[in-house]
Each structure stands twice: as structure tokens, then as C-alpha cells.
Structure 1
Amino acid sequence: MLFDMDGTLVDSEKVWDIALHELAAHAGGKLSEGARLAMIGSSMASSMRILREDLAQPDRDEAADVAWLTRRVEELFAEGLVWRPGALELLRAVRAAGLPTALVTSTGRRLVEVALDTLGRDNFDVVVCGDEVSAPKPDPAPYRTAADLLGVPIEACVAIEDSPTGMKSAVASGAAVLAVPAELELPPTDGVHLRESLEGVDPGFLAAVLASATA
């Protein structure tokens, strides 16, 4: 099992929303709705590029902005994260069934370590962070890396995602994909099983998703 984090397991996109708008204000500007939506599921580098373009400040110091944003999100993560509907129950069921499980996120390791205080370190055999892969989502590298570390063929994995960027990564990796929208509407996509929430999803349901993908 391969789980995305932000927007899939926990409602952390709202935390990022607060911090990114604060960063834009700190820069003397205002983040547009379109730019914020374009950042969902993307890497830190892509988000900072979108920010600079949106604020018309192409010469902003990316390293300084990343450091500012990371500190602020770390503070917000430390206050606790809210689980998405059905996510904790599914994760517990997957672990109880003994299924190899990975967290596959675009978020950097420093922030993931804080988030794991909510998620539970023992809930994952492998954690793949956005700053530890050769290329971030939508590249398939994060999911393929996770499957390799688990020792499971990617074709035998189900990836759970909430964003178009994450869906592209998971589909390209060769995993079966279950997508549950959070902040963005997800279009019907070949090879992707769409569901409104993770409520009612259990290992049996995931087995059916995998079977339909390999049929």
C-alpha cells in the first residue's frame, strides 16, 4: 500500500494554505487563488516558482522563502493535523492485515518527521519524502522508489492519492490507483478508481481495485 500524505491521509493542505498566504504577505503581495490551486500536490521548487510568477517577483531568494515557509509549516504541523475521513481507519486496517505500507509524499523530510507525530511512525514500513527522490511527482520516481524499498513489484501496489499531480505520478509508476479528491476536483482518468472519500474502504476493497487494474 502506497499512501500520499497531504490531502489524502491528513487535511494538511489547509495548513499549507495558511502558510503560503502568509509568505506572500511577508513578500508584500497576495497569492491568487489560481496560483494556490496550482501548487497542490507539487514539489517545493515548483510551488516557489509559481509564487514568484504570481507575485511578479522573479528575483526572490528561493532558499530564503523555502526556509521561511518550512519554519511556519513546521509550527502549524506541530499543533496537530486532522485526519481525512476514513483515513485513520483504513491505515489501521491495512496494518492489521499485515500489508507492506509506504508513505509517499512531496513534502520534505523535516516536515514529514513532524507530521509523523500525528500519523504514527509505526504505521509505515517505508517513508519516501519529496526531497529524497531523483524527481518529484508528477514523475513516477517517488512511487517506484517506495515499491523498490518495500520489495514489492509496483504492479502489485495500490497508490492512494488526492491531487492531479499525484495521480499522474502514481499512474505513470504502474501502480493501481485509488483517488479521493480533497481540495481539487479530479477528472475521470483511465486506470484510476475515483471515490468520494476513504470512508468504508478496507483491504478487501483495495484488493478489488488491484484486481480490476490487472484484469
Structure 2
Amino acid sequence: MTSTVPAPSALTAEDSALQAVLLDMDGTLVDTEGFWWDAEKEVFAALGHQLDESWRDVVVGGPMTRSAGFLIESTGADITLPEVTVLLNDRFEARIGRGVPLMPGAARLLAELRAYDVPTALVSASHRRIIDRILESFGPDTFDLTVAGDEIARTKPHPDPYLHAAARLGAEPARCAVVEDTATGVAAAEAAGCRVVAVPSVAPIAAADGRVVVGSLEEVDLAFLRSLITAMH
């Protein structure tokens, strides 16, 4: 992963209150939200059902159980939740096996966080098998911690994944910056008490107290993330 890392002078010299950066995966770091929707359409088409495009905003960014459960209920497909979960993961894994495009600015941001030894965690609602495949696109040492949706009893929009990540990194949630692309992920991070940067991928997200909305990761760097935390303390 090659990138240009800013010189130290580009960052504030004063010690930052930022203790960790927690990042979502699908739609935030990798351009895969469309892959999930394509997988869902293909799996349900094979079951004899066509998905309504308006459902895409409903299923984006959520845990597999919620998204798949919604689609089963909405289509009336004759399949169980565990069965369709396997089919969706299989279809998605086959798709990412052909390559995973990074979101603009993702490689540069991750390289900068690593260069300045900022503790980082990948916090995703995707299952471990999917995360481990996508991690091949980043390299083994990109994140200090990864949290998968099937490893936490309650995943997004509950705060548990972000509380777990902060605790494992020894950080206070209020001193963690979270980067998310969906309302579900933003809700989880805010419920955990983290400062949130929203980079909407599929559906719009409004700015709010304690939340900053940007157009892409190209607008986000370490100095920006530090400023979000120090502004609150």
C-alpha cells in the first residue's frame, strides 16, 4: 500500500487527545456496498424473487441477520436465515476474490495513521471470513485490531462493537474518532460515545452535534481527526 505521508510539521505538535481511530469497512474503506447488493439480488433471483431497488437503503450497512431477515420477509422466499446467510457470504466472497477497490483516500489515510503509530481498529458488521479476505487488500499490519459482526453478540446499530474495540485498544470512547458511511454505523458509534466522521456511500447522512459529514476520505487526515477530539475537550 503506497501513499504520501504528510511531514510531521503538517500535524499539530501538541499532544493530541485522540487515542484511537476506529474505521468501518464496507463502503468506508473498500467500495463493496454495491457488491453486497449485487450478491443479494443474485441470491434471491435464484430463489425466484426480484428485489426492489428501494430496499437497498434499508439493508445497507446493517448486520447480515437484519438485512437477510428483511429480504426474506419482504420477498416471502422459502429459505431460512442461516441458509441464506451462507449463500450471501459465498456469493460475496466469490466477488471480492476478483479484487476489492479501495475508496478514494483510504490507502493514504491508513498509511498516515500507521506512520504516526495511531492505534486503529477495523470495526465491521461483516463476518470474519469476509473481513479476512478483504484484509488481503490492505496488508497484515494495517490495523491493531479487527472486529467482525459474527464475533459480537449485538452488532451495529448497537454500540457494542465500538465499545469493544475501544476497550481492547485501551482507549476512552470519547477520545476515539470513528469513520463510517451508513446511518446504522453512525448510530452505533454515537451510542458508544465516539466522535464520528460520516462519509456517506449509498444514502445521505445529515450533519449533527458531535458528527461531521465529508464528501470522501480525501478530506480526512490525522490532523483533521485530532482536531475533532481536541475541539470537544
Could you say which TM-score interval applies, normalised by the shorter chain? over 0.9
Structure 2: how far apart are the matches of 1:206 and 1:119?
A: 21
The equivalent of 1:18 in structure 2 is 38
The equivalent of 1:83 in structure 2 is 102
The alignment-based identity, stated in percent, is 38
Q: Please tell me whether residue 42 in structure 1 is matched to residue 65 in structure 2.
A: no
**Aligned length, in residue pairs:** 213
The equivalent of 1:197 in structure 2 is 216
The equivalent of 2:193 in structure 1 is 174
Kept after mapping to 2: 8 A contact 1:35/1:54: no
State the structure with more CA Rg: 2
Q: Please tell me whether residue 105 in structure 1 is matched to residue 124 in structure 2.
A: yes
Letter in 2 for 1:34: S
Structure 2: gaps of 5 or more residues: 1-20
The equivalent of 2:182 in structure 1 is 163
TM alignment of 1:34-73, pairs within 5 A = 34-57=54-77, 59-73=78-92
Corresponding residue SS for 1:184: coil
Flag the structure with more relative contact order, 1 or 2, with Cα contacts below 8 A and sequence separation at least 6. Answer: 2
TM-score by length of 2: 0.89
Tell me by how many angstroms 1:135 deviates.
Answer: 0.5
Letter in 2 for 1:96: A
Show CA shifts across 1:135-187 (max 9, x none): 01010000000011111111111000000000000011011111111111112
Tell me by how many angstroms 1:105 deviates.
Answer: 0.2
Task: Please report the RMSD computed on the Cα atoms of aligned residues, expressed in angstroms.
Answer: 1.1
> Which is helix-richer, 1 or 2?
1
Corresponding residue SS for 2:196: strand
TM-score by length of 1: 0.96
